[in-house]
Amino acid sequence: MVNAVEVSALTHRYGERTALDGVDLQVGAGEIFGLLGPNGGGKTTLFRILSTLLKPTEGSTRVCGHDPVSEAQLVRRAIGVVFQSPSLDLKLTARENLKHHGHLYGLSGEELRQRTDEMLGRVGLSERANEYTEDFSGGLRRRVELAKGLLHQPRLLLLDEPSTGLDPGARRDVWTYLEELRDKEGVTSFLTTHLMEEAEKCDRLALLDEGKLVAVGTPNELKARIGGDIITVEAEDATALQGAVRERFELDGQVVDDTLRIERADGHRFVPQLVEAFADGIESVSLGKPTLEDVFVQLTGHRFWSEPE
């Protein structure tokens, strides 16, 4: 089976600024694949290249086996795109939006009517099909957008930050649809996200930071890169503490934004020793299982939220 996405040595520059820097990536058919990274890390650029909106500066890209630049129409037929700000016409009803979209994809007549009804039912909007989308909440609009993206039965669904601006219920709904599509129809989903909870639910993930791919794997594989537990210590002088811990316990901690992070198997046994040894310098200690955020911090050496959202 053809990979849904194949990218090699992909680089994109906006003038002087490098948004993507030599990215290599394969996404298999039938996966839910997440692209996780901070805002400004290059996610949206990759999304635009895959959705044929942007020509990459260098490198090769294949989407469902086709080149999004030279075979744009073939790629466009094979993909469904769900934008972050829904691409709906608010002066049209939900049904009219779908009808219009179907026409753009060459659907018409009875087939289009059936598909429209089916999709509206699937996203739970049959009752409100004839209302103007203007009157819909953000969550409902996203559902219409999703129905639109799926109307022409794409093999690959590209979603840009699908959970942004949705309440928890609506987020769950979106995920239920994606999993259903994968399980019943083998549709691949490729989504960008900056939310850890969302990334946790993906089959596989790529971490993207400053235009570079820092890791690819299942959420568990990524977390397994960290040996044991994570101990986060807030201290008056984290750097001094780092040195002292190295001397005393032969452990290399990482200083990130005035906190010291230490990886250690059986963390619950280590914490009392640590506190006893440096009781004076320590303000607080927390112990946890590694999260994707910890993986990100370990691989990049900086916090996920290095700048305000």
Do residues 61 and 156 touch, judged by C-beta distance below 8 A?
Answer: no
**Degrees (nearest 5) of the Cα angle 236, 279, 303?**
40
Interface with another protein (CB under 8 A), residue from 2, 8, 39, 100: 100
Stretch that binds another protein, among 101-109, 203-211, 229-237, 265-273 (CB under 8 A): 101-109
Q: Which is nearer to another protein, 53 or 275 (CB)?
A: 53
Q: Which is nearer to another protein, 152 or 171 (CB)?
A: 152
Helices (H), 12-159: 43-50, 72-78, 94-104, 109-122, 138-150
What pairing do the DSSP bridges indicate for beta strands 229-235 and 259-264?
Answer: antiparallel
User: Does residue 143 belong to the site contacting another protein (CB under 8 A)?
Assistant: no
Q: How many CB atoms lie within 10 A of CB 60?
A: 12
User: Does residue 103 belong to the site contacting another protein (CB under 8 A)?
Assistant: yes
Q: Which of 46, 12, 10 is nearest to 191 (CA)?
A: 46
Burial of 278 (0-12, 13-18, 19+ CB in 10 A): middle
Do residues 69 and 10 touch, judged by C-beta distance below 8 A?
Answer: no
Min dist. Cβ of residue 84 to another protein (A): 8
User: Does residue 211 belong to the site contacting another protein (CB under 8 A)?
Assistant: no
Query: How many residues line the site for another protein (CB under 8 A)?
Result: 31
Distance between CA 26 and CA 190 in Å, rounded?
A: 11
Stretch that binds another protein, among 103-111, 191-199, 238-246, 287-295 (CB under 8 A): 103-111
User: Does residue 105 belong to the site contacting another protein (CB under 8 A)?
Assistant: yes
Burial of 258 (0-12, 13-18, 19+ CB in 10 A): exposed
Interface with another protein (CB under 8 A), residue from 9, 39, 58, 104: 104
User: Does residue 48 belong to the site contacting another protein (CB under 8 A)?
Assistant: yes
Distance between CA 203 and CA 99 in Å, rounded?
A: 33
Q: Which is nearer to another protein, 14 or 305 (CB)?
A: 14
Distance of alpha carbon 34 from the chain centroid: 4
User: Does residue 142 belong to the site contacting another protein (CB under 8 A)?
Assistant: no
Q: Which is nearer to another protein, 48 or 128 (CB)?
A: 48
Q: Which of residues 255-284 bind another protein (CB under 8 A)?
A: none
Give strand pairing partners of 131: none
Question: 138-150 vs 94-104: helix axis angle to the nearest 10?
Answer: 30
Q: Which of residues 68-97 bind another protein (CB under 8 A)?
A: 73, 76-77, 79, 81, 83-92, 96
Q: Which is nearer to another protein, 106 or 169 (CB)?
A: 106
Do residues 230 and 290 touch, judged by C-beta distance below 8 A?
Answer: yes
Q: Which is nearer to another protein, 9 or 53 (CB)?
A: 53
Interface with another protein (CB under 8 A), residue from 148, 155, 261, 264: 148
Stretch that binds another protein, among 99-107, 174-182, 192-200, 291-299 (CB under 8 A): 99-107
Q: Which is nearer to another protein, 51 or 61 (CB)?
A: 51
What pairing do the DSSP bridges indicate for beta strands 32-36 and 188-193?
Answer: parallel
Interface with another protein (CB under 8 A), residue from 5, 37, 46, 51: 51
Binding site for another protein (CB under 8 A): 14, 48, 51-55, 73, 76-77, 79, 81, 83-92, 96, 100-101, 103-106, 108, 148
